[in-house]
Structure 1
Amino acid sequence: MTDADFSKLRISQADGVATITIDNPPVNVLDVTLMGEIRRLLLSLRNDPNTRVLVFQSADPEFFIAHVDMTLIDEPHAFDELVRDAPDGLNPFQAFGELLREQPQVTIVKLSGLARGGGAEFVAAADMAFAAQDRAGLAQCEALMGITPGGGATQYLSSRMTRGRALEVILGGDLTDAAMAERYGWINRALPAAELDDFVDRLARNIAALPEGVVAAAKQAVPVTDLQEGFRREHDAWAGLFERPSAEKLIRGGLRAGAQTKDGERNLEGLLRALAI
């Protein structure tokens, strides 16, 4: 597949590595189109023997994936097609993360900027993530919108860090810098920003150059955890809160206050907390 097949992704391929650049201005919100395009790309590459590593990065150095598009609160049927394609027991956001987590290629996130909500869940679903010190940040900001994560974060974080730290991330709602994210196990490493590109490029090419069968054998030997029951609990908790008036009030208030604009997203936590005053 080429760039011409997508409106929000740019793809380059060389030496067994596919680099996918997310480009959905102004802040790379995870809207229906972006979700659909990433899903279509992953499915198209699933059986490609010439692609062994997928590297995800952003065209905007400030934002990787902001979060799920908050305007979808007014489009209840926007995800109907994705719901139909989701495996039994998973909502479309969970299915999106699981598609990435089960990809046969090695998946790597190169995080230069901010990833919140569904964007942070995408980072956690990838096999590996490397972030730029003093520039990258991660947050599960859903609690500040009156809900809990509904796209896998409760399960992914619980497999990466202690329960106490996962609850701190989910209920604290604060932006976590790259150094702390590394310490908590949310990402593999925090690297100086000037070294991030070269490090990820070298790692990806080294993995892609391994003898045939090694990547598949390693991914099979280090299996993904079965999270099915946890996903059910997560969805029930998220859906129950999403139906409450407080969630709608906070989401609509956030949009009015500047969420999904560059200025608003630079301090989204402060913007959302101000709504509760």
Structure 2
Amino acid sequence: MTPLGDYSTIGMHRIPRDGEIVVTQPAFSTLHVTRERGVVKVVLDNPPVNVLSLPMMAELMTLLTSLRDDAAARVVVFESADPEFFIAHVDMTLVDDENAVADPTAGAPEGLNVFQALGEAVRTLPQVTIVKLAGLARGGGAEFVAAADMNFAAIGRAGLGQMEALGGIVPGGGGTQYLLSRTGRNRALEIILGADLFDAETAERYGWINRALPAGEIDAFVDRIARNIADLPDGTIAAVKHALPPQDLAAGMRREHEAWANQFANAPAEKLLRAALAAGAQTPDGERRLEDLLRSIAA
């Protein structure tokens, strides 16, 4: 991020380093960003169900890149403008985007596809990253949650799922590696091959998330922990993250991408995705019952 006196630049705006500010249009169309005393809050807003579209991915990468060199930002909190959906999953309409399907590694760092690159940009950010999960996150959305340093989920409202196997493919945005690291191989296999939606309490028990909290308490809890971390003495966050570096997942990411690419080429994934869209996927009603919808198509 480029310093301009007492200001820093995010998107197309000059933003005061102290006090709360809002990054408004035209900087981002799917993100609302505020900053207060070192805590950057990123609200995801891509109606109707917050799919991880190419514009949202591009805007997230722009924001994460700008934050990487911003010493005034200490904590980044991600949440959703939609109480039902955090990130539904990667946009299924990308199946008809020749550029997205033909070369999913285009523009990504060496050894990563574009979906993995987003997760790794979150996972390796020097700031502390926190996801406040109050709705559903599947596929690429669940991968984004697992990439963050910490994640807290609302009991009775949050849900996590890797449903890719229902389309004959595997998670391709880091999900296999994040789950292996967080939950262990046996539970990762259950999550990926079982392809069910997991509630907050089960996800906590499996180690997928940090903690499941009552829905009425999650806002105050996340605000408090973010504020407490941001207020730590200078250098403390960097020292702790240096002592606890993110695991090197390079080899695993290569295996995951190879498995994803091979299955996508050989499995009836494109046909299933189009059928899912026709059956109501990426609408609020269809997303509430997505696993059942996908199973009915594959039957």
**TM > 0.5:** yes
**Could you say which residue in structure 2 is the equivalent of 1:233?**
255
Q: 1:78 to 1:163 in 2, by over 3 A?
A: closer
Is 1:255 the counterpart of 2:269? The answer is: no
Shift of 1:257: 0.5
Is 1:39 the counterpart of 2:64? The answer is: no
**Could you say which residue in structure 2 is the equivalent of 1:242?**
264
Contact 1:22–1:56 (CA under 8 A) maintained in structure 2: yes
Counterpart among 189, 194, 207 of residue 172 in structure 1: 194
- Could you tell me how far apart the structure 1 residues matched to 2:24 and 2:143 are? 25
Gaps of 5+ in 2: 1-9, 11-22
**Could you say which residue in structure 1 is the equivalent of 2:30?**
8
- Could you tell me how far apart the structure 1 residues matched to 2:234 and 2:102 are? 39
**Could you say which residue in structure 1 is the equivalent of 2:141?**
119
- Could you tell me how far apart the structure 2 residues matched to 1:54 and 1:185 are? 21
- Could you tell me how far apart the structure 2 residues matched to 1:99 and 1:204 are? 20
Secondary structure in structure 1 of the residue aligned to 2:216: helix
Q: Deviations over 1:210-234 (max 9, x none)?
A: 0000001111110111111111111
Q: 1:85 to 1:246 in 2, by over 3 A?
A: closer
- Could you tell me how far apart the structure 1 residues matched to 2:240 and 2:65 are? 21
Question: % of aligned pairs identical?
Answer: 64
**Could you say which residue in structure 2 is the equivalent of 1:274?**
296
Larger radius of gyration: 2
- Could you tell me how far apart the structure 1 residues matched to 2:104 and 2:167 are? 23
Contact 1:79–1:92 (CA under 8 A) maintained in structure 2: no
The Cα RMSD (Å) is: 1.3
Q: 1:82 to 1:212 in 2, by over 3 A?
A: farther
Is 1:64 the counterpart of 2:114? The answer is: no
Q: Deviations over 1:139-196 (max 9, x none)?
A: 0010111110000011000000121100000000000000000000000000000000
2:33 maps to a residue whose letter is I
Count of residue pairs brought into register by the alignment? 277
Shift of 1:247: 1.1
Contact 2:147–2:178 (CA under 8 A) maintained in structure 1: yes
Shift of 1:108: 0.2
- Could you tell me how far apart the structure 2 residues matched to 1:110 and 1:270 are? 26
Contact 2:38–2:73 (CA under 8 A) maintained in structure 1: yes
Contact 2:174–2:253 (CA under 8 A) maintained in structure 1: yes
Counterpart among 132, 151, 167 of residue 145 in structure 1: 167
Q: Deviations over 1:54-112 (max 9, x none)?
A: 00000000000000000111102148998443111111111111011010000000000
Contact 1:28–1:64 (CA under 8 A) maintained in structure 2: yes
Q: 1:198 to 1:8 in 2, by over 3 A?
A: same
**Could you say which residue in structure 1 is the equivalent of 2:236?**
214
**Could you say which residue in structure 1 is the equivalent of 2:16?**
none
Is 1:154 the counterpart of 2:194? The answer is: no
**Could you say which residue in structure 1 is the equivalent of 2:185?**
163
- Could you tell me how far apart the structure 2 residues matched to 1:137 and 1:206 are? 27
Q: 1:142 to 1:112 in 2, by over 3 A?
A: same
Gaps of 5+ in 1: none
Q: Deviations over 1:214-266 (max 9, x none)?
A: 00111111011111111111111111111125112211111111000000000
2:227 maps to a residue whose letter is R
TM-score normalised by length of structure 1 = 0.97
Higher-helix-fraction structure: 1
**Could you say which residue in structure 2 is the equivalent of 1:24?**
46
Secondary structure in structure 2 of the residue aligned to 1:217: helix
Counterpart among 118, 136, 141 of residue 96 in structure 1: 118
